[in-house]
Chains A and B, each alone.
Chain A
Amino acid sequence: MPGTYLSIGEDKTTLCCHGEWTLWHLIAIKNALIDSEIPTKINKIDGSKITKMDSAGALVLQQFLYTLQQHQHQPLKLMAFEEAQLALLKLVTRPDQQWREIPRIARPNFLARLGLSTINYTVGFLNYLNFIGELTMIFLQLLRHPKRIPWRACVSVIESTGVMALPIIALLSFLIGVVLTYQMGLQLRNYGANIYIVDFLGISILREFAPLITAIIIAGRSGSAFTAQLGTMKIRQEIDALQTMGIAPAELLILPKIAALFFVLPLLTVWASLFGIFGGMVVSNSMLHVSYTDFLDRFYTAVSVKSYITGMIKAPVFGLIIASIGCYQGMQVTGSATSVGERTTISVVQSIFFIIVADALFSILFSTLKI
């Protein structure tokens, strides 16, 4: 009884192959090979009825012949195969069947992985310090040769990280002001202390919210862009090209970014403070009946310049954190597109982490200094 792919000839010594021995029929062929009972007397394989064979089909046939050969000790004869099919069978035959094994990669045990990641973190931190040191040296050299300062690059980074970020920072700060006032207003109204919303808003926005929100937005917006840009340039060997022309990549690509964020972040913080307070004013007016003039009068007496300055001291530090981590992670990219993604993630997470750590340290510092 002829099957779709296999049948046994009349004389019980011939195995006939039928139909399409291709990738798309491979499952059926394999099943047919498993299900069929092959008489031990088989010594001829007839390929005349094969209509189409590709390398996957040839591979299966070749493997089948190989196992068949192991079981019987007489040589198998291939008959009525086309020239091309024989060539294909030969092409998929390897002298030893060793290549069928995928090499295994041993996974290190827990202790080894712990040690490895400890070393990686330590080395990473040392590399970062190294990076900062190198940048400082290049910065000092630039100060001695002011003609080499890449002003154009600085201005272009200021535009892309500062000017282009104005709308989104204005909108988000405004909304933060609105939300804060609304939430606090509900509490203050219970005590009839509506006017104190001004003290609360002035101090919290100027000291904490404006610098922090700005830094987080810029970390997500520009820090990630720095990493992705430098990483891609590294993969495409643009960094190598710069280096061979005798230009330190740090001088042209990294320092302008760090310098730009150092200046841009305080400016954006002022902008964020303005819109945060304005958002608060709008809600105070409509919900707490504190008019715009009352708000500004109170603001003048209740909020000291000290609050403003403490906020402004933090901002450039946040800028340095974002830019240096963004650029450092960009330079750590190796080889592949996956690496760019990984490094960009690390860049944003670390930036935000260290911004918050720095903010906490500032709080401790200011409270011990009684500012």
Chain B
Amino acid sequence: MVIDTLIDVKHLKTYLGQHWVHRDISFSITSGEIVAIVGGSGSGKSTILREILGLLKPASGTIYLFGEQLHHMPMQIYHKIQQRCGILFQEGALFSSLNVLENIAFPLRQFTTLNPDSIAEIALLKLALVGLSPDTAVKYPAELSGGMQKRAALARALALDPEVLFLDEPSSGLDPVSAAEQDELLLQLQGTLRLTIVMVTHDLSTLATIVNRIIFIGEGKVIADGTYNELKANRHPEVHAFFHNTRAEIATT
């Protein structure tokens, strides 16, 4: 059975730190899309991601993942769904007590019964995919630069060949060259693995080049939902300001 709607968020309301972060958020994401959730600082973009990942429970509203309602499905099904999702956290969130290879191998060790050699092989492949040299395999996260940590974390997110990849600020802390390479890699993976990518980002060049669809969050609601060009033409003051400022003009010309 093919489920086309991978993620369905309905009437999400969130109350955090004495105020309503989300008043009414609804959107759905279909298989194969590269979607960016965009909005100003404090608009609750990352919060939505945390809610979809089940790290935070919304005040009300429902979230469906692969057709199953979050918080209402049996644990076993939830674990299966978790294995179909790869997550890249903003700071990488690599386990500091494991070296890079062990970090990437960790999900493989947990969820597959492959022998150590096969696991190492797959982990090294992911390492090569994200553009890290084999020397980094035996290094610990603390020995790596921020950008390298991020790449290693992306490799870990890709370890189980997930169907959906969640990225929180994927290009923050990367130099423009690495950021462009990462965009290229994401596009390649999306094409070859039919990956669905959901990201929270501010990076206008990422938005302009690889993202199919942008969901703009503001005032606790979805203000705009469409392609880059549609949003660029949007007349809402917040959306307009996001796409028409000096930085935006420079970045996309």
Partner-B contacts on A (CB < 8 A):
22-24, 26-27, 30, 54-56, 59, 63, 84-85, 87-88, 91-92, 94, 98-103, 105, 334-339
Interface string of B119-136 (1 = CB under 8 A from A): 011101111110000110
Give 6 pairs: A residue, B residue, CB < 8 Å, sorted on A: A23-B160, A54-B193, A84-B191, A94-B128, A335-B143, A338-B96
| Inter-chain pairs besides A27-B114, A55-B125, 19 sampled, C-beta below 8 Å | A55-B122, A55-B129, A55-B161, A56-B122, A84-B192, A87-B191, A92-B125, A99-B124, A99-B127, A101-B134, A102-B101, A102-B124, A102-B134, A103-B138, A335-B143, A336-B140, A336-B141, A337-B96, A339-B96
Q: B142 at interface (Cβ–Cβ under 8 A)?
A: yes
* CB-based contact B122/A59 at 8 Å: yes
* CB-based contact B161/A22 at 8 Å: yes
* CB-based contact A54/B161 at 8 Å: yes
Q: Which residue of B lies closest to A105 (CB)?
A: B138
In the complex, how many angstroms separate the beta carbon of A139 from the nearest chain B beta carbon?
Answer: 32
- Chain B interface extent, by class: 20 to 34
Q: Which residues of B contact A27 (CB under 8 A)?
A: 113-114, 118
Total residue contacts A-B, CB cutoff 8 A: 83
Choose among B97, B161, B192 the residue that contacts A56 (Cβ–Cβ < 8 A): B161
Q: A23-B160, A87-B188 are in contact. Are A99 and B140 (CB under 8 A)?
A: no
Q: Measured between alpha carbons, how far is A154 from B83 in the docked complex, in Å? A: 50
Q: Which residues of B contact A98 (CB under 8 A)?
A: 134
Q: Which residues of B contact A30 (CB under 8 A)?
A: 118
Q: Closest 9 interchain pairs by CB?
A: A335-B142, A336-B96, A54-B161, A88-B192, A336-B142, A338-B97, A87-B192, A337-B96, A84-B192
* CB-based contact B122/A23 at 8 Å: yes
Q: Which residues of B contact A54 (CB under 8 A)?
A: 161, 193
* CB-based contact A103/B125 at 8 Å: no
* CB-based contact A26/B97 at 8 Å: no
In the complex, how many angstroms separate the beta carbon of B84 from the nearest chain A beta carbon?
Answer: 10
Q: B37 at interface (Cβ–Cβ under 8 A)?
A: no
In the complex, how many angstroms separate the beta carbon of B142 from the nearest chain A beta carbon?
Answer: 3
In the complex, how many angstroms separate the beta carbon of A102 from the nearest chain B beta carbon?
Answer: 6
Q: B246 at interface (Cβ–Cβ under 8 A)?
A: no
Q: Measured between alpha carbons, how far is A242 from B114 in the docked complex, in Å? A: 49
Q: Which residues of A contact B143 (CB under 8 A)?
A: 335
Q: Which residue of B lies closest to A24 (CB)?
A: B112
Q: Measured between alpha carbons, how far is A293 from B43 in the docked complex, in Å? A: 70
Q: Measured between alpha carbons, how far is A59 from B125 in the docked complex, in Å? A: 8
Q: Which residue of A lies closest to B144 (CB)?
A: A335
Q: Measured between alpha carbons, how far is A336 from B99 in the docked complex, in Å? A: 12
